[in-house]
Amino acid sequence: MGIRHWLGDNFLTTRVDQVVAWARKFSLFPYPFVTACCGMEYMAVSAAHYDLDRFGAAFPRFTPRQADLLMVVGTISHKMAPILKRVYEQMTEPKWVMAFGVCTCTGGFYDNYATVQGIDTIIPVDIYVPGCPPRPEAVIRGIMMLQEKITKMRQEY
Ligand code: SF4
């Protein structure tokens, strides 16, 4: 009986996929696009107490070209929307987006002419973390959900 019988035709591809997914999910480089009060909670979750290093997501990058996780933190006005879209477009693939706080998810209580009613009207969103502001535990839960999503997605390399 040959080794193919035991391992199957796709063994090598599957294993490489898993290794790439594992590396990607534990090496997230966030770009914090911070505009409003949720920024305080972003600082809290980034501090040592919550130890984002456990998830490989502690090292923010301040250029979109070196980041793969766009964290949109705070209210987005229509005036700011083109800038957010441009930042997203400057990131290389694969890339993910977190809507951090209810203002980014839906506009929150800023139901007015000046505020974007959810950033998914401008760019694709992978993870929604509601709350005003969300607690650090909720943000960490969002990161873990994103890691699950990365594990399940088709890896391209
Ligand atoms: S969700 Fe609440 S805390 Fe966050 S930016 Fe909006 S108003 Fe501020």
- Judge whether residue 51 has pLDDT over 70: yes
- Judge whether residue 3 has pLDDT over 80: no
* Exposure string over 90-113, b if 16+ CB within 10 A, otherwise e: ebeeebbbbbbbbbbbbbbebeee
Distance CA 90, CA 2 (A): 48
Beta strand 69-73 pairing with 127-129: unpaired
Predicted TM-score of the model (pTM): 0.88
Amino acid, single-letter form, for residue 110: Y
Residue 37 Cβ inside 6 Å of ligand 1? The answer reads yes
Give the chain's domains with CATH numbers: 30-152 (3.40.50.12280)
Mean pLDDT of 47-66: 94
Write out the E strands in the chain.
30-34, 69-73, 96-100, 127-129
**Best residue among 72, 132, 135, 139 to mutate for probing ligand 1, ranked by most atoms within 8 Å of CB:** 132
**Best residue among 34, 35, 38 to mutate for probing ligand 1, ranked by most atoms within 8 Å of CB:** 38
Q: Whose CA is nearest to atom 8 of ligand 1?
A: 37
Residue 107 Cβ inside 6 Å of ligand 1? The answer reads no
Mean pLDDT of 103-112: 96
Residue 74 Cβ inside 6 Å of ligand 1? The answer reads yes
**Residue that is written with structure tokens 């987005």 in the block:** 76
Residue 58 Cβ inside 6 Å of ligand 1? The answer reads no
Q: Whose CA is nearest to atom 2 of ligand 1?
A: 132
Closest among 121, 26, 23, 25 to 72, alpha carbons compared: 121
pLDDT tens, residue by residue, 8-43: 666 556 678 888 888 899 999 999 999 999 999 999
